[in-house]
Amino acid sequence: MSNSNYIAQRWEDARQICRESFSDDENRYLDEIKDCDEFQISLTAVSAHLDRDEQSKLLYQLKNTLRSLENFVALLAVTIGRTPLDACLIWGLLSLLIQAAARMPTVLTETIDMLNNLGHDLEVLQILERSFADNPTMRDDLIAIFVDIITFWVKIIHFLRRNQQETSIKLYWSAVQKDWEATSKKIRTRSSQIKEKADALAATSMQPAALLEKIERLNELLISQRPGTEDTQQSIFPCHNIPYLQNSHFKQRDAEIREISLHLAHDETAPSFKSFAIWGPGGVGKTQVALEYCYQELGRQIDLIMWIDCETGLSTSKSFSSLAKMLQLNGAENDTDPDNARHLILDWLRKTNISWLMVLDNIEDTKLAWDCWPHAPHGSILVTSRTVINVNDPTAAGMEIKTFNTAKGGSILLHLVNRYPYSDDEKHAAEELSHELGGLGLALTVMAAQIISRQKSIRAFLKFYQQHALQLHRETRGLGMSYKASLRTCWISTFESLGPESTTLLSIIAFIAPIETSEELFQPSDTSDMEERLLLCADEFTYDNAMQELLSASLVHRAAGANSISIHRLIQREFRNFMSIDQLYSSFLDSATLLHKAFPKQINGNSLRNESVQCKKYIEHALFLCRQWQTYKFKPRTPGDFLTFTRLMTNCGW
């Protein structure tokens, strides 16, 4: 049987197992849970067994496993030519499994342990992703692992449905564990076989003769200084590989486009190399700004625009490979080494006379940026990143893309919903919703799409959003092709990359009001009675490093020339959702401790009127903290946990 036929047959085997094991309604349900976000939304189905805090704890416990499964699904799609939608079977089955296990805490705990072990076993496959393209039999092993996972999950779902009494589950659970151990052993064996094949391929590729041949071939390719012949060059320009259509709704960013144009404008009389970086939090609209600038440059008759998707190493390689073929560089059509394509393009850019612009979209790794950097005498580079960037080039400049203010955000919502003319109440509701969303471009786009699809007035949707923000942040409808993640997930990778001190600092900031905040709050003069985790506030250097990491990741913003910071309300909300129950509890207490130290103290029943300036500085934060207590309904775990919070509220009353 050919490799492609084998893969198709095994894929059909997995589908057939589900068809035979579940009802038609359940099979339709499997197809509806298309990705990790929708799996998390599906947990509301277990609300009878798990309250909101327990659901959050469950997601935290499965965090690494969900990431491994997401990578595995993506690897399946890339390796065997299926789309991620085809692999939604994974997420639908996982949802049914959690629903079946959630009825009994002990069973759920055991199930989570099994899933976490599976996630660990799958991690090695992501490291070897580039090897699958070189060896078809390795793809066979990958699809076999997929079928093993599906088969075991179906078995355990049936077991839990048949045995709904805790006594019978305890009696037969050892058989389930034995079956899991056998499945896990098969997965590890297949992973080891894949690794051995990858190592063999790597060893072969490093044989002296093969290595010399590769270097020789690369040198031959690099001789090409122009795409094809001179006649071919003239025939393909102007050209571009911009991956998205122009956004007809793009507005309110004229000043940003002018700033970019000012720095990158092509001067034919004195051509030079120029670079410019734009940064800001996820979803603020960096890619949209870069996209609009590209289309304006097309209108100015630039010869070439190159768009490089730098989100991952794989997407970067694919961009260079397809670009080399578009440019018809000699040898690019039949070459399979993505590094060759990158070297070909960068070398050609050093020698060509045409006008060009390169967009490095979503750069998060400085090393990756330099690997893609053309050291050319002329041309322009526009970089987008969530991280504050200082491009190390004498002519480089940069700019932060900021959120829209309430009025501009409201105007954009009205424009996107497009139900002119609007009543005054609808206009006010649009501004209120813009305020709730913090003027974040992606949030405005997604919620406008939700207003249209749900056929609600803006006023009615505002109330709906206030009640269901968490679920709506997971929606992907209305995102368009230029953004692949939901509103919720666009910050997750940044949260996960933070160091321990910056994570602690952000967890405190998550419990204070999302307004301009004096940094004096985080650096109290008296640190003698603080918990150990708050000692970062006692060390100026440690605190400054932690704050610098948050600033660089665009998670918080520091006012120019001022000793104050602020955080976007959606980032704050999503970080609270990202935290575990234990982290939420300790962060609440930490915030109460710092606010109590900063807030004036009532003594002998005297009024705090003379301390009004200091009171006004922190009263909004104290009230915000009180609202979080009402939201999470924290209960003291040990006597005296809430004493500091109570004293803070008492002082606020005076």
The dihedral formed by the CA atoms of 507, 508, 513 and 516, expressed in degrees to the nearest 10: -100
**pLDDT at position 40:** 81
Provide the angle, in degrees to the nearest 10, between the axes of the packed helices 63-80 and 52-61: 60
Three-state SS string across 392-407, please?
Answer: CCCCCEEEECCCCCHH
Give the pLDDT confidence score for residue 259 in this predicted structure: 93
Q: What is the three-state SS of 89-143?
A: HHHHHHHHHHHHHCCCHHHHHHHHHHHHHHHHHHHHHHHCHHHHHHCHHHHHHHH
Q: Facing residues of 381 across strands?
A: 275, 358
Please check whether residue 93 is in contact with residue 29, taking contact to mean a CB–CB distance below 8 angstroms.
no
Please state, in angstroms and rounded to a whole number, the distance separating the CA atoms of residues 653 and 634.
Answer: 21
Using the Cα atoms of residue 334, residue 335, residue 338 and residue 341 in order, give the sign of their dihedral.
negative
Question: Could you tell me what percent of the chain has a pLDDT over 90?
Answer: 24
**Whole-angstrom Cα distance, residue 550 to residue 505?**
9
Task: Look up residue 91 and give its amino acid.
Answer: W
Give the pLDDT of residue 393.
Answer: 47
Q: 438: which residues sit within 8 A by CB, 6+ positions away? A: 403, 514, 568, 569, 570
* Nearest-angstrom CA–CA distance, 550 and 573: 16
The pLDDT value recorded for residue 214 is 47
- What letter would DSSP give residue 34? -
* pLDDT of res. 79: 66
Q: Terminus-to-terminus CA distance in the chain, angstroms?
A: 82
- Of residues 68 and 511, which shows the higher confidence score? 511
List pLDDT tens digits, range 628-638: 998 888 889 99
Which of these, 103, 6, 90, 115, lies nearest to 49 by C-alpha position? 103
Identify which has the larger pLDDT, 533 or 502.
502
Which of 72-86, 177-191, 240-254, 595-609 is modeled with the greatest confidence? 240-254
464-517 pLDDT, tens digit each: 999 988 888 887 665 555 555 677 777 787 888 888 999 999 999 999 999 889
- Of the pLDDT bands very low, low, confident and very high (cuts 50, 70, 90), residue 586 is very high
Q: Is the pLDDT of residue 298 over 50?
A: yes
* Amino acid present at 40: Q
The model's pLDDT over 329-361, given as tens digits with 9 standing for 90+, comes to 877 766 667 678 888 999 999 889 899 999 999
| Average pLDDT value for residue range 26-51 | 75
Q: Is there a contact between 565 and 517 (Cβ–Cβ < 8 Å)?
A: yes
Supply the pLDDT for residue 122: 77
pLDDT on residue 201: 56
The DSSP 8-state label assigned to residue 465 in this structure reads H
Provide the whole-model pTM.
0.59
Is residue 157 within 8 A of residue 93, CB to CB? The reply is: yes
The mean per-residue pLDDT over the stretch 458-469 comes to 92
Residues in Cβ contact with 460 at an 8 Å cutoff, skipping those fewer than 6 apart: none
Amino acid at 557: H
Q: What is the pLDDT of residue 235?
A: 61
Half-sphere exposure for 584 (CA within 13 Å, toward CB): 24
Closest of 575, 571, 652 to residue 611, by C-alpha? 652
Q: Name the residue with higher pLDDT: 584 or 333.
A: 584
Beta bridge partners of 384: 278
Average pLDDT of the chain is: 80
438 class by beta-carbon count within 10 Å (0-12 exposed, 13-18 middle, 19+ buried): buried
- Cβ proximity of 160 and 24 under 8 Å: no
Query: Does the structure show a pLDDT above 70 at 55?
Result: no
Handedness of CA 565, 569, 571, 575 (dihedral sign): positive
- Which tokens go with 145? 């692992």
**pLDDT of 234 over the 70 cut:** no
Least confident of 3-17, 277-291, 485-499: 3-17
Block residue for tokens 């053309």: 374
What pLDDT shows up at residue 227?
A: 43
Report which listed range, 78-87, 227-236, 429-438, is most confident.
429-438
Question: Out of 34-48, 117-131, 244-258, which region has the weakest mean confidence (pLDDT)?
Answer: 117-131
Q: What is the pLDDT, as a whole number, of residue 479? A: 57
- pLDDT over threshold 60, residue 608: yes
Q: Is the pLDDT of residue 245 over 60?
A: yes
- Per mean pLDDT, which of 32-46, 76-90, 124-138, 525-539 is the most reliable? 525-539
- pLDDT at residue 435 in the model: 92
Q: What confidence tier does 406 reach under pLDDT thresholds 50, 70, 90?
A: very high
Which amino acid makes up residue 319? S
Please compute the mean of the pLDDT values over residues 160-168 and round it to a whole number.
69
User: Which pLDDT score is estimated for 470?
Assistant: 82
Amino acid 229: pLDDT: 44
Domains assigned to the chain: 3-205 (no CATH), 222-400 (3.40.50.300), 406-472 (no CATH), 498-653 (1.10.10)
Residues 49 and 103: beta-carbon distance below 8 Å: yes
